[in-house]
Structure 1
Amino acid sequence: MAKTIFATPDDAEQAFYEALTQGDLDAMMAVWSEDDDVVCVQPGGSRFTGLAAIREAWRQLFASGMKIRVRTSHPVKTQAMLIAVHCVLEHVSIEGEDTMAPPMIATNVYSRGAQGWQMILHHTSPAPDTDGLLLQETPRIVH
């Protein structure tokens, strides 16, 4: 099977959140760089380094059967020739639950190489001050 090539960091990010929502491990791992220095920090504070550890963390989450829905908002994006950093708010809901959790803050870092844009870091943590975050100016692209 040919590796998916993402032409832009936005394409890679869209694929990441689609894979998360669908619970699709192969699609999730297609977004990640095969570099040994990739890092994923999940909301509970666990840090996974390296592709094998990241794959296993996502496998466990998807195997739980929990159906996660994520909508992003308030993006702040910085991009150079070979690296892009996206900071977004993640609005997460769990299928079957009536309550919506407070937003999470996510930083996604992508690098551009021969295989297009790929994720090298995903870090999500709880937002400490939801009201202050939502009052800040909305979508920005910083170059």
Structure 2
Amino acid sequence: MSQVLFASVDDIEAAFYDAFNRGDLEALMALWSDADEISCVHPGGTRLIGLAAIRESWKQLFEDGMRLRLSVHHGLSHTSPMLVVRSVLQHIVIEGEDGMPPPIIATNVYARGAFGWRLVMHHASPSPETGNYLDDTPRTVH
């Protein structure tokens, strides 16, 4: 299988959320680096390390049958020539349910390599049940 070249982080991030929304495991996994120490944390989940564990977690999520749609807002980036860290709010709509739950706070880390940009870490956490999620007021948590 040939690797798709992602020339920009915007391209690979768009491909990530598109693959998620379509429930396309192969397209989603093609975005990950083949490095040994890639990691993924799903909301409320444990830290998964390596392609096999990450693949299995996404496979289970997609096979669950629940149709989720993600949209991404309020992205913040830290950029260097070889690494980009993005913090975003993921708004999830669950097919068949009314209302919108609080957003998920996600951090995506991308590294530039031989095949352009690749995902090396995805960490998603539930946000608090209350508060204004859209303002940029700094908050001290710990």
Compute the TM-score of the two structures, normalised by the length of structure 2. 0.91
Shift in Å at residue 135 of structure 1? 1.6
Q: Matched residues in 1 for 2:54 and 2:43: separation?
A: 14
The Cα offsets for residues 32-61 of structure 1, whole Å up to 9 and x where unpaired, read as 101110000000222110010000000011
Q: Matched residues in 2 for 1:126 and 1:25: separation?
A: 23
The Cα offsets for residues 81-104 of structure 1, whole Å up to 9 and x where unpaired, read as 100000000001111111211111
The Cα offsets for residues 84-143 of structure 1, whole Å up to 9 and x where unpaired, read as 000000001111111211111000000000011000000000112653431217xxxxxx
Aligned twin of 2:14: 14
Aligned twin of 2:118: 118
Task: Trace 1:26-41 onto structure 2 (pairs within 5 A).
Answer: 26-41=26-41
Q: Matched residues in 2 for 1:117 and 1:72: separation?
A: 19
Q: Do 1:6 and 1:115's aligned partners in 2 also have CA atoms closer than 8 Å?
A: yes
Aligned twin of 1:61: 61
Compute the TM-score of the two structures, normalised by the length of structure 1. 0.91
Q: Matched residues in 2 for 1:130 and 1:117: separation?
A: 35
Please identify which structure carries the higher helix content.
1
Task: Trace 1:63-142 onto structure 2 (pairs within 5 A).
Answer: 63-128=63-128, 131-136=131-136
Q: Matched residues in 1 for 2:103 and 2:130: separation?
A: 7
Q: Do 1:70 and 1:91's aligned partners in 2 also have CA atoms closer than 8 Å?
A: yes
Please provide the CA RMSD for this pair.
Answer: 1.3
Alignment size in residue pairs = 137
Identity %: 51
Q: Matched residues in 2 for 1:81 and 1:130: separation?
A: 37
Q: Do 1:31 and 1:119's aligned partners in 2 also have CA atoms closer than 8 Å?
A: yes
